[in-house]
Amino acid sequence: MKHVLDRLVGAAELVLLLTSAVVLGAAYVFQYGVGLPPCELCYLQRYPYMVVIGLMAVGLVAGRFSWLLALAGLALIVNAGIALNHVGVELKWWEGPATCSAVATPADSDALLDQILNAPLVRCDEVSWSFLGISMAGYNLLIALGLAAFAFYAWRQRSRT
């Protein structure tokens, strides 16, 4: 196992670029291929992957700078934080952004109609897809944490040499 991990560290930029592209690509497949439009928090979880792809592309073209791996790890930790927040909103542990979560029902009918007409199409507090009881935000949390751990491990290994 150590030998495999060492080989992956040697290609860390490519591994992080490709895995981030696959995760981002999967999000687009769910959106456009399957017809599951993303909520506001789903969109926010895409941006760190875009940052990682950009950083790793620079690393592949300009040279293997270990600090780029650390920045990628930080971007993935940010992603994991957004995903954890999203999971908490889905599980009703806390409220999500007012722009994409259910809010209290107003007392008067005009306010209720206004709330209905201005409601987002996709709410952050409803799970639109899950597998084995884990939502897409939950899988993203696990993937982002795993990739962050790998990025920081690769950064540490590269910094030692």
d(C-alpha 47, C-alpha 35), whole Å: 20
What pairs with residue 134 in β-bridges? Answer: 131
User: What's the pLDDT at 87?
Assistant: 93
Predicted confidence (pLDDT) per residue in 10-32, tens digit: 889 999 999 999 999 999 999 99
Using the CB atoms, write b or e for 23-57: b if 16+ within 10 Å. Answer: bbeebeebeeeeebebbbbbebbbebbebbbbbbe
Identify the CA nearest to 85 among candidates 45, 28, 48.
Answer: 45
Predicted confidence (pLDDT) per residue in 122-142, tens digit: 777 777 877 898 889 999 999
Predicted confidence (pLDDT) per residue in 2-12, tens digit: 677 778 888 89
User: What's the pLDDT at 99?
Assistant: 65
Domain 2-160 has CATH 1.20.1550.10: yes
**Domain residue limits, the chain:** 2-160
d(C-alpha 126, C-alpha 120), whole Å: 12
What pairs with residue 10 in β-bridges? Answer: none
Indicate the pTM of the whole model: 0.81
Contact 136, 88 (CB under 8 A): no
d(C-alpha 32, C-alpha 64), whole Å: 35
